[in-house]
Amino acid sequence: MATKVRVRFAPSPTGGLHLGGVRTVLFNYLFARHHGGDFVLRIEDTDNTRFVEGAEQYIMETLRWCGMEPDESPAAGGPFAPYRQSERKASYMQYAEQLVAQGHAYYAFDTPEELEEMRNAFKSAENPSPQYDHRLRMKMKNSLSLGEEEVGRLLSEGVPYVVRIKMPEQETIGFTDMIRGEVSFSTSTVDDKVLLKKDGMPTYHLAVVVDDYLMQITHAFRGEEWLPSAPVHLLLWKYLGWSDAMPQWAHLPLILKPDGNGKLSKRDGDRLGFPVFAMNWTDPRSNEFTQGFRERGFLPEAFVNMLAMLGWNDGTGKELFSMTELISAFDMSRVHKGGAKFDFEKAKWFNHEWIKTAPAERLLPDVKDVLKTADISAVDDSYVKQVIDLVKERCTLLPDFAEQAGFFFKAPAAPDMEPVKAKWNLDKTLFFTDLPAVLEALPTWNAIALEAAFKEMAAARAIKVGELQLPFRLMLVGGKFGPAVFDIAALIGKQAVINRIKKGLESLA
RNA sequence: GCCGCGUUGGUCAAUCGGUUAAGACGCAUCCCUUUCACGGAUGAAUGACGGGUUCGAUUCCCGUACGCGGUACCA
């Protein structure tokens, strides 16, 4: 019998969501949908010193933008509410106590200063960072080293304490990672991690295990940086008596910086000129601003597609996937083990592909926004859509529409005729002087009729059509770019064409 | 230092022991187009190193190197 698949994305609300974070959500989401399961968003705000105002809303908004709405979340609620760990404080304490009572954890009264002292005292060349572990714990102040009455006294006096897990001295512990296969560790090298902090809040280690159990999570996916603490979690599942309910795990590879080595950070984006956050983010504390993919002009479809291909592929060579296609093709076992360097050029390629193939209808609101911020008035939707179809293949990022489509709405300020001036002559001046009358007389106004009339007139005057097309383009567009001239002329309309010809002629005079 | 995880062209990557080692991005050249793109064609460029196992290793195993991650009362 199959239990329903339940996965969770569990971020800390400490700032904007970067590429790696969004990809973790994506893989969770794809897995859940692929298996018809639930996708829950749980906010891991156990460290109130790192809590950042607005981060949770930012996360929600990012998920919405990407089309990955959670089934259960702080905002949407759900059968396992609350979904913020800060609101579940009481339950963690209870389990911590249970572990102490069973002898799998203990109270530790060491102050931060004492901890610091210990680290200094035992620091050596071959052990630069001494751990609070089985070798040292009897030298510290805790319920293992202190007498029972002493512990009772400290407790009753209200001396602050933390709860630490008691790692076995020598045990090999392992699990099967869905991506990496068998992974094992020796408990002798793992320290006695703090489970419950002195403020009564759990650390990540206790909180994930308790909540994954309570929320009946069946599969837990997280970044590779969590692999080293897996043995702590494994033991917790066992000590709490929940081994049978333990989720299957997968540790996702990291997204690396494009140059050099190391994890991609928002600094790299600033340095190299590309976004690393999903959406714009301004840190309320430092006022530091970080640009997002959305504001840079990425379509969420492209953003998601690009992220999915960073560390995963379906093995066929197919690269362009819609969310629906991703959902049906996604398979955790095909996720890579090694990290992938982020390549902004490739990211842009994905966006270009999506813009090129998107129906004008889909692009309409975005393009209208772009035009609006460029101070171009575009009110007629059906006209805008025709423009979109004409120019979309030359737009990589959404803001490109401002340049590529602008001249359909506004005549070029002062057409720069420089590129054709060298070869200009009286015949050409005459051609364009007479052109408006010919256009006026045209019975039908469309690209084909326009081109025919234009070419016929050129032939009659023995001027090469090619020599006339560039000046015509410059008059209409204002630059050496854009779709076929006659398509442009047909769309902007007879009067606009005539006006622009006249202005162009003036610039040539 | 210790522990863990990785390593196929510049980048993303296919291959699940036998191929001339796919494909994509980027780059270069050409065609199309007397604009810019799109599209098409072609090209340069790859299995970290050393041992095994095997008739045969990019693929399996072991070392080494290198990289990354962890080593917090942060997640």
**What is the CATH number for A188?**
3.90.800.10
In a domain, A265, yes or no: no
Catalytic entry in A257, A266, A348, A392 = A266
A221 falls within a domain: yes
* A325 domain-assigned: no
Q: Is the CB of A188 under 7 A from strand B?
A: no
What's residue A446's pLDDT? Answer: 94
**Residues A213, A218, A223, A227: what is their CA dihedral angle, to the nearest 10 degrees?**
70
CB A31 within 8 A of CB A47: no
Q: Which nucleotide's C1' sits nearest to the alpha carbon of A312?
A: B13
Chain A 35-94 residues in 7 Å CB range of strand B: 44, 46-47, 50
Nucleotides of B strand lying within 7 Å of any protein CB atom: 1-8, 10-15, 22-26, 34-38, 67-75
Are A380 and A490 part of one and the same domain?
Answer: no
Instruction: State the Cα angle at A498 between A492 and A499, rounded to 5°.
Output: 90
* Helix (H), strand (E) at residue A235: helix A230-239
Tell me chain A's radius of gyration from C-alpha atoms: 32
Q: Are residues A224 and A121 both part of a single domain? A: yes
Written as six digits, the tokens of A304 are 């998601």
Asked if residue A96 lies in contact with residue A325, where contact means CB atoms within 8 angstroms, the answer is: no
Torsion angles phi and psi, residue A15, rounded to 5: 160, -165
Q: In this structure, are A435 and A509 located in the same domain?
A: yes
DSSP code string of A61-81: HHHHHHT---SBBTTTB-TT-
Contact between A475 and A424 (Cβ < 8 Å): no
pLDDT tens for A222-249 read: 999 999 999 999 999 999 999 999 999 9
Residues A470, A508 within the same domain: yes
Name the residue among A293, A320, A407, A369 with its Cα closest to residue A21.
A293
A163 and A106 Cβ atoms separated by less than 8 Å: yes
Q: Is A356 a catalytic residue?
A: no
A493 contact to strand B (CB, 7 A limit): no
Give the dihedral of Cα atoms A265, A266, A272, A277; nearest 10 deg. Answer: 110
Which residues of A in 94-113 have their CB below 7 Å from strand B's atoms?
A: 110-112
Q: What burial letters (b/e) apply to A290-309, b meaning 16+ CB within 10 Å?
A: bbbbbebbbbbbbbbbbbbb
Q: Are A388 and A367 within 8 A, CB to CB? A: yes
- The pLDDT of residue A407 is 97
Question: Would residue A365 count as lying in a domain?
Answer: yes
Element (H, E) at A175: strand A172-177
Same domain, A376 and A244: no
**Whole-number pLDDT of residue A259:** 85
Query: Domain of A396?
Result: 359-405
CB A258 within 8 A of CB A285: no
User: How far: A173 CA to B66 C1' (Å)?
Assistant: 28
Q: Which of A190, A191, A204, A194 is nearest to A107 (CA)?
A: A194
Angstrom distance, A409 CA to B12 C1': 39
Q: Is A375 left (phi over 0), alpha (psi -120 to 50) or beta?
A: left
Please say which residue of A183, A217, A252 terminates a domain: A252
Instruction: Judge whether A394 lies within some domain.
Output: yes
Residue A128, in any domain of the structure = yes
Judge if A394 and A418 occupy the same domain. no
Structural domain includes residue A448: yes
Q: Is residue A102 located within the same domain as residue A189?
A: yes
Specify the CATH number for the domain of residue A483: 1.10.10.350
CATH number of the domain bearing residue A363 = 1.10.8
Question: CA A178, C1' B17: Å apart?
Answer: 24
Residues lower than pLDDT 70 in chain A: 1-2
CA atoms within 13 A on the CB side of A480: 5
Q: How many CB atoms lie within 10 A of CB A419?
A: 13
Report d(CA A136, CA A114) in Å as an integer.
13
Strand B–CB A336 distance below 7 A: yes
Q: Which nucleotide is nearest to A191 (CA to C1')?
A: B71
CA of A253 and C1' of B65: distance in angstroms?
22
Whether A10 is in a domain gets the answer no
Whether nucleic acid strand B comes within 7 Å of the CB of A393, the answer is yes
Q: Which residue has the tokens 């909180």?
A: A207
pLDDT of residue A419: 87
ipTM over 0.90: yes
Gap from A310 CA to B46 C1', Å: 19
pLDDT at A126: 84
For chain A, how many structural domains are there in total?
Answer: 3
